[in-house]
Amino acid sequence: MQSLIQEIQQTLVDLVGSGVAAIPGILGALIILALTGYGANLARRVTASLADRLLNNRSLQSLLTQIGYITAWIVGILIAAIVAFPGLALGDVVALLGLGSVAIGFAFQDIFKNFLAGILLLLQQPFRLGDQIIVNDYEGTVEEIALRSTQIRTYQGEVIVIPNSIVFTNSVQVRTAQKYRRTDLAIGVDYNTPLDMAVETLLKAANSVEDVLDKPPAEVDIVEFGDSSINLVVRYWTAPQQANVRRIQTQVVIALKKACDQADINIPYPIRTVYFFNQEKYNDHYDLNQRDGVSQEVGVSDRN
């Protein structure tokens, strides 16, 4: 019994001694982690400055800045682990990272999927910061392309954060990809209107709006014979931003209506004709005998 107590005491002494011996390493690791936070921020500022000088694309600048920040943290954590555990060899670190990566991969597969999708989006650049896009029924201006998500601001001022995996695997409509964008406005004219005169009037009205572009030129197409009108489509080009498109569309509609009024071109609306009849005179609610009698009379007259 005495030997067991002595063995337990010796074990406790060894544990306390090991803990005391490990205190400098742990303190050194904590100091290294604190310095890593400062160094990571410094690395982010340095990489951001270099990227700003070397690259014109803001998305790639953001990618390099985030990679520099994450790399600094990874290096700092590895150094802190080696200082805290001096017996930890490089092979042990590699093996630990290998086993940990499998477990972390299963636990955080969605995060890594978004991370890889973010890198591919930043490298391929299907759209850039400031572009106006539509993805998954969301439309707005791209404000940030991070490694995990893409942030857009809608035209109503709301912020939408979309995971990069969704952006990467779905169709994205980039409305500001080109320098100009076309708007189609439908309008109908009366059947008595000379079509050549109508086309010329509408085209002149569209071109009279200041912000309608000359190149590509505006067009007026006659598309169909409608129920109440001959339908045309006025096609014109503007700057691609949504605010410009909406504002110029209002101006073009006003110009078209004013031009039609001045040229005595009637813009018809659907017309319905309603017939009224005397229900007492035209009463179809006969009784059965009356209907049979009518049928017989009709049958006789037909035979004659």
- 181-262: CATH architecture: 2-Layer Sandwich (3.30)
**Helices 109-124 and 58-84: angle between axes, nearest 10 degrees:** 140
Its pTM stands at: 0.63
Q: SS3 for 286? A: coil
The pLDDT value recorded for residue 269 is 81
Separation CA 237–CA 259 (nearest Å): 19
Q: Beta 138-145 vs 219-225: how paired, if at all? A: unpaired
Domain residue ranges of the chain, discontinuous segments joined by +? 22-107, 126-174, 181-262
CATH of 126-174, one of 3.30.930.10, 3.40.50.150, 2.30.30.60, 1.10.20.10: 2.30.30.60
125 Rama class: left (phi>0) / alpha (psi -120 to 50) / beta: left
Q: What is the residue type of 221?
A: D
Strand partners, 141: 132, 153
Strand partners, 144: 151
135-194 pLDDT, tens digit per residue, is 988 999 999 888 788 999 999 999 999 999 999 989 999 999 999 999 999 999 999 999
Of how many residues is the chain composed?
A: 304
Identify whether the C-beta of residue 43 lies closer than 8 Å to the C-beta of residue 69.
yes
Among 201, 235, 237, 238, CA closest to 220: 235
Separation CA 241–CA 107 (nearest Å): 41
* pLDDT over 50 at 295, yes or no: no
251-276 pLDDT, tens digit per residue, is 999 999 999 999 999 998 877 767 77
